[in-house]
Structures are given as structure tokens and as C-alpha cells.
Amino acid sequence: MSLNLTKILRFLIVGVGNTAVDFAVFWLLQGLAPLLANVIAWGVAVLFSYALNSSWTFQRGRSHWQALPRFVMGGALVSLAISSLSLGLMTGWIGLWPAKIVGTVVAAALNFLVALWSIESARGRRA
């Protein structure tokens, strides 16, 4: 697992795009229950994030059949749990959007480590 500045910067750029996708879809779904809107926005954002991180940040050259489930199970589901807990526990206290922001910030650092594990470490085991 090689960690370098280029990968970190690319991951941050993808993360900003991922957050924009997540927040845009969440905003578009404002008429739904917040937790349902969050799950849908999360799903769209995860696919966006995986596509860019696997092809650009970590430049994976293998089948997605192993890496995508690892990406989703490893960090994306944890990210969804953090975001949903933040919404459920903090919305009444600080408001909907601040609660979503808190969940997003807390999950961001974890996502980099999981992306390294799920995408980068799979490079050596090409099918």
C-alpha cells in the first residue's frame, strides 16, 4: 500500500465531488423522509466515488467484482451509518443540514483508509 501526495490530493478532489453529489441528491429529495433521502443520496454518491477512485485516484486495473463489494462493505456502509446516526441524533439539536455536514466530516477520514484497503490493496491480486 503506497501512500503518496498525488493519491491524497486525488482522493480529496473525488471526495469534494462525492460530497457535492451526495448533498445535491439529498437536496433534490427534500420531500422524502430525511433518512430515506440520505440512503438514496448515499447510494448515488458511493457509485460516483467508487468509479472515480478506482479509475483515477488508485488507477485500478482489475475486475470490479471484488473491489466494489469491499469498497461498499468496508467504508461506504460505515459512512452511511455515521451520516444516518448524525441525522437521527443531531437534527433536532442543530438542524438538518448541520447534522448532515457533521456526519460527512466524521466519515471523510475513515473513507480514505477504507479506500486504500479496498481498492489499492486489491491491485496485487489481479484476476
Tens digit of pLDDT for each residue in 1-51? 455 788 888 888 998 999 999 999 999 999 999 999 999 999 999 889 888
What pLDDT was estimated at residue 123? 53
Segment 51-84, tens digit of pLDDT: 888 888 777 666 666 666 766 666 678 888 999 9
What pLDDT was estimated at residue 127? 45
**What total number of domains does the chain contain?**
1
Alpha-carbon torsion, ordered 44, 48, 50, 56, to 10 deg: 180
Q: Which carries the bigger pLDDT value, residue 63 or residue 93? A: 93
Can you say how many angstroms the Cα of residue 46 is from the centroid of all Cα atoms in its chain?
5
Q: Is 39 exposed, middle or buried (0-12, 13-18, 19+ CB in 10 A)?
A: middle
Report the candidate in 49, 48, 57 with the shortest Cα–Cα distance to residue 6: 57
Overall pTM > 0.85 = no
Contacts of the segment 80-83: beta carbons below 8 A, 24+ positions apart: 80/38, 80/39, 80/42, 82/106, 82/107, 82/110, 83/38, 83/42, 83/107
Q: Is 85 exposed, middle or buried (0-12, 13-18, 19+ CB in 10 A)?
A: middle
Could you list the beta-strand ranges (E) of the chain.
Answer: none
Q: Which residues constitute the domain of residue 97?
A: 5-125
Average pLDDT over residues 86-105: 95
Q: Which carries the bigger pLDDT value, residue 125 or residue 19? A: 19
Average pLDDT over residues 101-117: 79
